[in-house]
Amino acid sequence: MARIIVTPDEQSDVVLFDEHVYPVHLDNELSSLQVAERLAWAVHDAEATERREHLRRGYPEHPAHA
């Protein structure tokens, strides 16, 4: 079985998404879109978490995020 894990960065112990994915989850359009949607939310949350952490540490915001 495959496993998808999303964290804000390599050093983080925060896990924003941790899901076991079986082939059946990708066998039809609805369930595969649901997996992709949950993954997209986690990626967006990870990006926001990383951005907040950079600002908290006093680093300038990356131009791509401005």
Give the whole-angstrom CA distance, residue 26 versus residue 42: 18
Q: Give the per-residue pLDDT at 63.
A: 53
Angle at 46 between CA 41 and CA 49, to 5 degrees: 125
What's the total number of domains in the chain? 1
Taking the chain, what is the end-to-end CA distance rounded to the nearest angstrom? 39
Q: Give the per-residue pLDDT at 26.
A: 93
**pTM exceeds 0.85 for this model:** no
Cα of 14 vs its chain's centroid, Å:
11
Burial of 42 (0-12, 13-18, 19+ CB in 10 A): buried
> Residue 16's domain spans which residues?
2-65
Segment 9-62, tens digit of pLDDT: 878 888 999 999 999 999 999 999 999 999 999 999 999 888 887 777 776 665
